[in-house]
Amino acid sequence: MRGVQRGGQRCVTDTISSEDGRHLASGRQRGRSNPDDADWSDAPARGAWRDLYARGLSLTDALALGAAVVIAEFARFGTDVSATTPGPLRLSYATLGVIIAAVWWLMLTLGKTRDARILGEGAAEYRLVIRTTVLLFGWVAIASVMLKFDMSRGYLGVAFPVGLGLLLVSRKLWRVWLHYGRAKGRNMSRVLVIGGIESAMHTARMLQQAPTSGMAVSGVWIPDRQVRSNEWLEIPGGLIPVLGTHQTIRDALSFTGADAVIVTDTEHLGPAGLRSLAWDLEAADVEVDLLVSPNVVDVSGPRIHLRAVANMPFIQLEEPQYAGAAKLGKIVFDKTVSLIALFVLSPLLLCVAVSVKVTSPGPVIYRSTRVGVGGEPFEMLKFRTMISDADLHVTSLAALNDGSGPLFKMRNDPRVTSVGHHLRRFSIDELPQLFNVLKGEMSLVGPRPPLPAEVAEYEGHASKRLLVRQGITGLWQVSGRSDLTWDETVRLDLDYVENWSMLRDLQIIWRTLRAVVKSEGAY
């Protein structure tokens, strides 16, 4: 098998046979080495899991709403099934519950809360469910006043909160099931990338690192370049077929089994190419999602705005949000939560301090010089988890470094004490940093506190990490912890600095608690 470098990426240009023993990244059968020889009729049914998922949501939505009105009637009237609404239009609350549940279910359908485009990722699904519920509650209130149709406030006061809670819980459980299947390679959408090799490789890797997104690149189509029939793009875990001018968009979709198209480089299509592509997809008579990548990396949704200028769509990026991380609201939140945490955890802190002291000689607290906001050094506090002279052994252990860049990490560090191993596993050794937060040297959430030696090796935009206070936790903590490479750590920290928001801080704190409980990437 011969490899060819294209733009820094590896393409395999020899024929792949079924005896090669390597699976295609698309998950389709092996042995199809030539797209021109493919049988286009054997493409798998696209999006079958979506229909199953939507039907499942419809059923559980109905069950949740039915349970909500039953609970509301029981809470308000007990076992009295004869209760009716007052006034000229008398309805039993059982009948009224059926009507409310049916209208509620219908509004969830009309509100596109089960649209495949919002399922499985992000908060859009939950927002739509909440908005639909609030809208229905408002309509019921207005209708009862206008029609003089009096209903029990207690009944409505139970039905809507309980119904909303059950809906959100059932949606969350479905999402957990979906993510579990995607982690096993199921319930995935196959993606055909239209663009160059380099952008295709980047897209494939990003999607591969986020399996819960439900997308995996199954092919690359370069519509303005001739491609050999046996050319493949090599990524970790498989090969991606590369197609060119010898194939039409229908051929490319059929060969790759794709049910989604991502355009990463519009110049390969020409000025009017995107419009033609949309028409070609319509003519192909297959249901395919069309997405256009703006090649904007690590920019969160609130900073992205779509603008139409001269009948052309543009993406406007707002300025980085790091200034907000220094606002009074975040400072007050940090110090308040830290003070409460220290009070609640004081018995645990005392037990840990005693355990560290009696199991190994040396101080209880390890003071590490770190570089804080604006490049100012400070002493970061941690429970000591290593032997007292651990820093003197770094040079002798350098050859065993499992970290990357200026980071020094060892999975089985001989300097770690028996107690220290357990403290690190659940990040208990980090708790004294709550005192750093109270002193204003750190934040609860922020970039990873760097060593002076790391800062000395900063290149490019890495120094932007010092624009905000370093955190006890951050995106790096909930995205792999010690398993991350140096470049990934820098990228995540810059992502946090540029896209800071208070809501994101709360999300990171919640994800941190989950990561700590699972001991993910801790050593």
CATH number at residue 239: 3.40.50.1980
Co-location of 335 and 273 in the same domain: no
Nearest to 33, CA basis, from 197, 243, 215, 200: 243
Give the domain range for residue 132.
48-183
**How big is the chain, counted in residues?**
523
Give the C-alpha separation, 264 to 348, whole Å.
Answer: 51
Give the C-alpha separation, 188 to 212, whole Å.
Answer: 9
Residue 4: in which H helix or E strand, if any?
strand 3-6
Co-location of 135 and 223 in the same domain: no
Co-location of 442 and 379 in the same domain: yes
Co-location of 328 and 469 in the same domain: yes
Collect contacts of 277-281 with beta carbons under 8 A, ≥24 apart. Answer: 277/194, 277/249, 280/248, 280/249, 280/250, 281/249
Beta-strand pair 215-221/189-194 = parallel
Residue 303 lies in a domain: no
Question: What is the pLDDT tens value at each position of the chain, 523 positions in all?
Answer: 444 444 444 555 444 333 333 344 444 433 344 444 443 333 345 567 788 888 999 999 999 999 999 998 888 877 766 667 665 667 777 888 898 999 999 999 998 898 887 887 778 899 999 999 999 988 887 877 776 666 777 888 888 999 999 999 999 999 989 888 888 888 888 889 888 888 888 888 888 878 888 888 889 888 877 776 678 888 777 788 888 888 888 888 888 888 888 888 777 776 677 777 877 777 766 677 888 877 666 565 566 667 666 666 676 666 666 666 678 888 999 999 999 999 999 999 999 999 999 988 889 999 989 999 888 999 999 999 888 766 666 666 655 655 555 565 666 677 888 888 888 888 899 999 999 999 999 999 999 898 888 888 887 778 888 888 999 998 887 876 556 677 778 888 888 887 788 888 898 998 888 877 776 555 4
pLDDT score of 44: 42
Residue 302 lies in a domain: no
* The total number of structural domains that make up the chain: 3
Contact 54, 116 (CB under 8 A): yes
Residue 11: in which H helix or E strand, if any?
strand 9-12
pLDDT score of 2: 43
Q: Write down the H helix ranges in 452-501.
A: 452-456, 486-498
Residue 137: in which H helix or E strand, if any?
helix 124-146
Residue 41 lies in a domain: no
Co-location of 98 and 111 in the same domain: yes
Contact 352, 428 (CB under 8 A): yes
Residue 10: in which H helix or E strand, if any?
strand 9-12
In the listed set 275, 295, 315, which residue is the last one of a domain according to the structure?
A: 295
Co-location of 344 and 434 in the same domain: yes
- Count of CB atoms within 10 A of residue 9's CB? 19
Residues 6+ apart with CB under 8 A from 461: 494
Give the C-alpha separation, 437 to 254, whole Å.
Answer: 56
Structure tokens at 367: 């003071």
In the listed set 130, 164, 183, which residue is the last one of a domain according to the structure?
A: 183
Residue 42 lies in a domain: no
Contact 164, 195 (CB under 8 A): no
Residue 140 lies in a domain: yes
pLDDT score of 35: 44
Q: What is the DSSP string of 222-279?
A: -TTS---TT-EEEETTEEEEEE-TTS-HHHHHHHHT-SEEEE--GGGT-TTHHHHHHH
Co-location of 85 and 54 in the same domain: yes
Give the C-alpha separation, 372 to 1, whole Å.
Answer: 50
Structure tokens at 78: 């007990």
Residue 305 lies in a domain: no
Q: What is the DSSP string of 322-374?
A: GGGGGSHHHHHHHHHHHHHHHHHHHHHHHHHHHHHHHHSSS-SEEEEEEE-GG
Co-location of 178 and 102 in the same domain: yes
Co-location of 53 and 14 in the same domain: no
In Å, how far are 198, 205, 307 from 471, measured between CA atoms? 34, 28, 35
In the listed set 149, 183, 217, which residue is the last one of a domain according to the structure?
A: 183
Residue 81 lies in a domain: yes
Structure tokens at 35: 């797209």
Co-location of 126 and 271 in the same domain: no
Orientation of helix 48-77 relative to helix 93-110, angle to 10°:
150
Residue 366 lies in a domain: yes
Nearest to 229, CA basis, from 43, 27, 37: 37
Co-location of 235 and 167 in the same domain: no
Nearest to 505, CA basis, from 376, 334, 268: 334
SS3 377: strand
Gyration radius of the chain over CA positions: 28
Interval 277-294: pLDDT, tens: 877 777 766 677 888 877
Contact 494, 464 (CB under 8 A): yes
Give the C-alpha separation, 345 to 350, whole Å.
Answer: 9
Co-location of 407 and 505 in the same domain: yes
Q: What are 24's strand-pairing partners?
A: 239
Residue 315: in which H helix or E strand, if any?
strand 312-317
